[in-house]
Amino acid sequence: MRAFLYSIVAVFLAVLANPSMADGMKHDGIMVEQPWARATAGPAKAGAAYMTLVNHGEATDRLVGAKSDLSARTEIHTHLMENGVMKMRQVEGIEVAPGTPTVLQPGGLHIMFMGLKAPFKEGQELPLTLVFENAGEVPVTFKVQGVGASQPMQNHDHSKQGHSQGS
């Protein structure tokens, strides 16, 4: 009986450890919460996506890149003040330490889409792949909010995901 219980636990743990069997947004300890973007205005050729990166693993990981078919180039950016002017600059990577959520948000870190093939329209759910040093490629579906949105929309459907994984 005891061995039987252990095997049940083992199967359960295997499901937890295998991202394809468990929650689609959880990959080797990295969880991407509330990915979102603002709709782009008119002819804008650039857009940005924001999200919170949570590391449920034991070791620090790093976001080292982003891939997307939505734009010619997809980069990791931050904002910084230079001579009193807010500027964007590409960064090599973003450290994601266990227990410390890393927030990408307007005015700070963001995923930048340069040379957009089509504008971001409110209500769209678009694919993006984040590349982590340890966790590897993590597919994300981000939701496009209104042009003036300053934070991810709070869902009232009591669903943590907010939407299904598109990939």
Chain contacts with Cu ion (rule: CB under 5 A): 77, 88, 112
Q: How far is the CB of 85 from Cu ion (least distance, A)?
A: 14
Q: How far is the CB of 53 from Cu ion (least distance, A)?
A: 17
Q: How far is the CB of 66 from Cu ion (least distance, A)?
A: 11
CA distance 3 to 93: 45
Q: How far is the CB of 75 from Cu ion (least distance, A)?
A: 7
Q: How far is the CB of 114 from Cu ion (least distance, A)?
A: 8
Q: Concatenated DSSP letters for 12-73?
A: HHHHHH-TTTS-TTEETTEEEEEEEEEPPPTT--EEEEEEEEEE-SSS-EEEEEEE-SSEEE
CA distance 130 to 14: 24
Among residues 135 and 140, whose Cβ is nearest to Cu ion?
Answer: 140
Q: For residue 85, which amino acid is it?
A: V
16: closest CA among 3, 4, 28?
Answer: 28
Among residues 129 and 161, whose Cβ is nearest to Cu ion?
Answer: 129
Residue 89's SS3 state is: strand
Among residues 31 and 36, whose Cβ is nearest to Cu ion?
Answer: 36
Report residue 25 as tokens. 């947004």
Among residues 27 and 77, whose Cβ is nearest to Cu ion?
Answer: 77
Among residues 97 and 149, whose Cβ is nearest to Cu ion?
Answer: 149
